[in-house]
Amino acid sequence: MKWLSEYQIKMENTSILSIKDGDGDLLIQSTTQKPLIQGNSIAGGLRALLSETYECDIIEKMFGSSKDETDFGKSKITISDAHGAYLQTESRTHVKIDSALGIVDVKNNRGQLMTQSFLVPNIEFEWQLKIEADSKEEIELYETMVNQGLASIQQNLIKFGSKKTSGAGAFKINEVKKRKIELTNPKSLIGYLKNELPFDKLDMVLFDQFQPVSHEVFSVGLCTASPLLIGGNSYYDSEKPDRMNIKNGRGKYIIPGSSLKGVFRQHCDKLSIYFHCPEIVNELFGSDNDDIQTAGRVYFDDLIMKNVNDKIISNRIHIDRFTGGVMEGALVSELPIVGTCDLKIIMHALPDKDKNNKAVGLILLALKDLADGSLTLGSGYAIGRGRFSGKVIKHNDTIAIDFEKNDNTYALEYVKKLNTQEGRV
């Protein structure tokens, strides 16, 4: 080893975070009672992302390999655990939906209402990374790879923990410091041994030069066209409405990523049946079938609602379906909201180009239906709730659909790839 580079990294979760221990509880450091992300989780995320860009030999030499036929041996990169600044949690309730029936899945007792704990957003984590190399060229290559990995965390292409496709595990990089030591240089070596070599703060612009690799990015700005109600945890308070919109641990109204994923999956299921490509949906959203279990490729984040109006309480009654009369004691007060939000979807590209084009077409169609009010979110869709309007849908920074100009030429090219049978385009 002739060269050594050390990094000190501070990153902050921009979404809820679920890092579990062996018992299924949140992973907490026993001595400090603060949250923890294990170094092997960070290394695994970096390795998986970089494997899409670099050859297998380079990846195995950098991260190590246990294969008998290789002689790369020990990893050239060492990553510490990431330690959180404090512990604060929030809970989310959810159910599993049967994709075939569109109702709560009661198979194998999976239909119960479940509550899960998460770390709240905006907790800063600190961790260290060290690279060893035998030449200047090698250390520069590994530094470039590390910088690309950090840029991918910043771009939300690398997430940590569970529920990554449903809005959890996203981070942003707050600060990166680095020092490089040439161990064959006596002055540099002595300074390192005495811990006198300073760390230099890197300019965050450095990470903007890395473009997403093998990913499709979709975005649209949305405005509620009708009141929205996505119920959160119940409150036993007579002074509050019976049903209120869900808020995150910071007290902001949100549309949970899990709700978005469920709605988009169900809608893409319908579209795929029409276009005779149902296999695309399992590749996009994952499958937990007994025979084949695959992870999803589409990532949703919680949507933070902005410009919110939550002052209008709505009162409703419950009708007895048998008698047709009002059920006694069934006066319900609800507090829907209106506002705006920015939706961003990241999709890991499918290896097969034809399937990837079809997948892009499905998501663009689903986004179009959401942005023109055909696809709703939350409860009360039968009474007009949960509808949105959007002006522009973008795909990889290119305008795919412009509603104001009535231009969908770009999106139509992908939709045509879904099915060329007569009557399908």
- Looking at the domain assignment, is residue 82 inside a domain? yes
- Looking at the domain assignment, is residue 282 inside a domain? yes
For the whole model, what pTM was predicted?
A: 0.83
**pLDDT value of position 236:** 64
Whether residue 128 sits in one domain with residue 67: yes
Whether residue 158 sits in one domain with residue 272: no
Whether residue 274 sits in one domain with residue 364: yes
| Calpha distance 279→352 (Å, rounded) | 13
Query: The domain that contains 155 carries what CATH number?
Result: 3.30.70
| Calpha distance 407→400 (Å, rounded) | 8
**pLDDT value of position 102:** 56
- Looking at the domain assignment, is residue 116 inside a domain? yes
- Give 106's pLDDT tier (boundaries 50, 70, 90): low
What pLDDT digit, counting tens, does each position of 51-98 carry? 988 999 999 999 988 764 555 568 899 999 999 999 999 888 776 666
Burial of 397 (0-12, 13-18, 19+ CB in 10 A): exposed
- Give 425's pLDDT tier (boundaries 50, 70, 90): very low
Whether residue 185 sits in one domain with residue 56: yes
Q: Is the pLDDT score of 107 beyond 60?
A: no
| Calpha distance 43→153 (Å, rounded) | 12
Whether residue 276 sits in one domain with residue 398: yes
- Give 41's pLDDT tier (boundaries 50, 70, 90): very high
- Point out the domain boundary residue: 209, 243, 258: 209
- Looking at the domain assignment, is residue 107 inside a domain? yes
Whether residue 11 sits in one domain with residue 141: yes
Nearby residues of 72 by Cβ (< 8 Å), 6 or more positions away: 57, 60, 61, 64, 65
| Residue 162 or 114, more confident | 162
Nearby residues of 23 by Cβ (< 8 Å), 6 or more positions away: none
- Looking at the domain assignment, is residue 421 inside a domain? no
Whether residue 169 sits in one domain with residue 243: no
Tokens 């041996």 map to which residue?
73
User: How many CB atoms sit inside 10 A of residue 174's CB?
Assistant: 14
Tokens 């209106």 map to which residue?
338
Q: Is the pLDDT score of 180 beyond 70?
A: yes
Three-state SS string across the chain, please? Answer: CCEEEEEEEEEEECCEECCECCCCCECECCCCCCEEECHHHHHHHHHHHHCCCCCHHHHHHHHCCCCCCCCCCCCCEEECCEEECCCCEEEEEECCEECCCCEECCHHHCCCCEEEEEECCCCEEEEEEEEEECCHHHHHHHHHHHHHHHHHHHCCCCCCCCCCCEEECCEEEEEEEEEEEECCCHHHHHHHHCCCCCCEECCHHHHHHCCCCCEEEEEEEEEECCCECCECCCCCCCCCCCEEECECCCCCEEECHHHHHHHHHHHHHHHHHHCCCCHHHHHHHCEECCCCEECCCEEEECEECEEEECCCCEEECCECCCCCCECCCCCEEEECEEEEEEEEEEEECCCCHHHHHHHHHHHHHHHHHHHCCCCCCCCCHHHCCCCEEEEEEEECCEEEEECCCCECHHHHHHHHCCCCCCCCC
- Point out the domain boundary residue: 180, 209, 238: 209
| Calpha distance 300→367 (Å, rounded) | 13
Mean pLDDT over residues 362-390, rounded? 93
Whether residue 349 sits in one domain with residue 202: no
Whether residue 233 sits in one domain with residue 182: no
Q: Is the pLDDT score of 235 beyond 80?
A: no
Q: Is the pLDDT score of 424 beyond 60?
A: no
Is the Cβ–Cβ distance between 388 and 377 less than 8 Å?
A: yes
- Looking at the domain assignment, is residue 332 inside a domain? yes
Boundaries of domain holding 68: 3-209
| Calpha distance 419→252 (Å, rounded) | 42
- Point out the domain boundary residue: 169, 194, 209: 209
- Give 108's pLDDT tier (boundaries 50, 70, 90): low
Average pLDDT of the chain to the nearest whole number: 87
Angle between helices 136-154 and 56-63 (to 10 degrees): 90
Q: How many CA atoms lie within 13 A of 365 on its CB side?
A: 24
Whether residue 183 sits in one domain with residue 311: no
- Looking at the domain assignment, is residue 285 inside a domain? yes
What pLDDT digit, counting tens, does each position of 239-277 carry? 778 788 898 888 899 999 999 999 999 999 999 999 988
What pLDDT digit, counting tens, does each position of 269-313 carry? 999 999 988 889 988 998 776 566 677 889 999 999 999 998 888
Q: Is the pLDDT score of 111 beyond 60?
A: no
User: Residue 205 is which amino acid?
Assistant: V
Whether residue 166 sits in one domain with residue 225: no
Strand partners of residue 115? 93
Q: How many domains does the chain have?
A: 2
- Looking at the domain assignment, is residue 308 inside a domain? yes
**pLDDT value of position 14:** 93
Whether residue 307 sits in one domain with residue 194: no
